[in-house]
Structure 1
Amino acid sequence: MAEFSTLNFFQNIGFVFFFYILLRKQVVLITEPSAVIFIILGFSFSFVWLMYGYSNYTLIIFLHLLTFFLSINFGAAILRLFRMQSLNNTINSLKFCNKGFVFFTWCCFFVVLIANLYHINKAGIAILSESVDEAKTMGFSGGGGLVRRINWSLLYFNFISLFVLYRLKRERSFLVGCLTLALLLLLSGSKGAIISILLLVSVTLASPRFFKGNRRVLNYKLIFFGGVGILFAGFIYFLSSTDVSSALSKLYLRFLYFGDVNLYLANSYVRLSFESLDLFSLLNYIFNPLLGFFRLADYYTPIGVQLVHTFNAGRASVDGDFGPNLSFYATAILFFGDYFGLIFSSGIGVFFGAVRTYALQVKVSRLFRYCLSAYAYFMLYSLVLDPLMFIGRVYDSIILIGTCYLLFFSIRLVMPKK
């Protein structure tokens, strides 16, 4: 692999700043998803530049990123012209009265809490294990897979709901609920736990309808806690490193490795092995998580894992059953080709810009709708990192949040009316 240097670091900063210039009108808070993605994609492109320099492959990736960022602005402009009337009417039937929404939120909270306590009792606390990464890997067995699905969907939505209620009512019970969910995330051993919490807070505070305070001061606070999150990630790496410098190197590499899919995507043999993928293949991968959840079909091996296995063909060992996230531009290139894939990247950008604009303009008086829209904006982070993973999480969210929704109404039906 190419050698890292101080020049590489400043190149990273330069690429991040360039993408910020393209997206600055869509960034209100420094830790909201639109801000985090230009940082992540800046490091991803730095990885491509470091590995392949000025080449045809580097140019293709740059075109996909440029198309994506410009399309975000286009999607936001389209929704502003649309005035969102039809969107608002679509979700009118999901509104709650305030008291009903509070009860529904606590139903979700206890589902998340009981599931995580059960998993901790079975598998232990990941962050206290000798090998955090190994503990997280083993955590998928013994019902851990379902708990992961709950944490990837219902927990995040529940955190947003509790945080919104705390901001509106200022009752300590909601704050305790938020802190409990944050603790569960930290105990899971996730290196990005604090960053995820900041994203959840940011998607609720980004709306001018919800937060009308000094945004500059708020950004300073978010930057501080973002730094704490990076230090926490560094601490996780330190637990498996020999010294501080080794942990810092791993942390820096982790940011660069948001672009690690390019190690495989740029390989001509790997590309030829996946040239049969097309639109119909993509549809199969889109519906497979739903069919797999109901045991109507076997889960497909993630394409990231397939890329690694193909790349390692003929070698003595394969690095487990894990692979890189298939970012939106990698998905576009694999399923549609270098240049037709630009249409897919553009579509992802338009969707991102439209959802973000909608989320920031929803009326706070509609609590359930407001929390759903904030959660949808939070989910866009995974859309950029891996669209196929995003589809799976959308299914999980619909099934799990919908189940709690039905549970809530079932309880309300049997409760005596006052």
Structure 2
Amino acid sequence: MAKSNYIFTSESVSEGHPDKVCDRISDAVVDLFLSHDPYARVACETLATTNRLVLAGEVRGPQSVLDEVESVARAAVKDIGYEQDGFHWEKLDFACHLHQQSADIAVGVDAAGNKDEGAGDQGIMFGYACDETPGLMPAPIFYSHNILKSLADVRHSGEVAWLGPDAKSQVSLQYINGRPARATSVVVSTQHNEGVSNEEIRETVRRYVQSVLPDGWMCPEDQFYVNPTGRFVIGGPDGDAGLTGRKIIVDTYGGAAPHGGGAFSGKDPTKVDRSAAYAARYLAKNVVGAGLARKCTIQLSYAIGVSHPLSVYIDTHGTGEVDEDKLSDVLRQLMNLSPRGIREHLKLNRPVYARTAAYGHFGREPDAEGGFSWEKLDLVEQLKAAF
């Protein structure tokens, strides 16, 4: 029997966190290649440290695009807001080691003759949705993201000019009868300019935490932690090296659901680490959105070079209103879960990925340019009709 009364915690990190700087740059490179060729292949890893960026990986696309990579990377750092002595978009050293994709991988995954495009690697991918928030996301990660997003908004606008780009949040929620009821603790660490008092930082952060949490949910005062070390002036890649793909739980469900292990950023949509995780989220969200379950976990598994998933597993955690085996069959009928089918259904061959690099890949609003298409609820009526 599932536990109904408990405390659950999730964390988020801001766009200026060292690992998120790297995610943003890697995804900006993906967007760059897709803007020149919708069928480009990209696997881009980024390392960031004190005034240095290093990119490496494999690509397939117009060679001329490589000439634009450095300017795109510097523009991403500038947009995040790094103009500090230890990490400055204009002054940092840059090295690019992107090279052509392995021919052996290409042979295995490309379509040829009667063979459909295969998965670019083996792996398992999970999608999840629940009815705890309007975006059908777990509440702890939802509020953790939104606290940092609200601080980033006032930093970019200049309303709170002393805020730095690097920040982390952590929200612990008490669940009663399986539903989130209030925060038991909140932790926020944010980079700041020299000379700002701890009291000003605490009271400023408090305003935005209270604006994000529902009324009456604020944690006790002695469980509200702001910059617990007392000082956070040196931050970002100057304070800690960053790498692409190290915040996979922040990117997904905050630990409330399983994760297959594959990161998203820096990968073009032919790679099922990314596209199949988006598809699994899309299907799970539509199941919950249709009222067929209050919680839904979906697992997809793939083999390299094989087009269709080896398995489609569904768990509605005892909240389902329909037979899970039939639900699995219906979902397979509604969506082609091959790499090509996912890309075409969700229209993923577009440069829409840099915006996913911070504040979560899920629980976001679909936009006019095609970003976050996996968050649409356009299967709800078909699912209702099927049952």
- Superposed pair shares fold, TM > 0.5: no
Hey, which of these two has a bigger chunk of helix by percent? 1
TM-score (normalizing by structure 1): 0.28
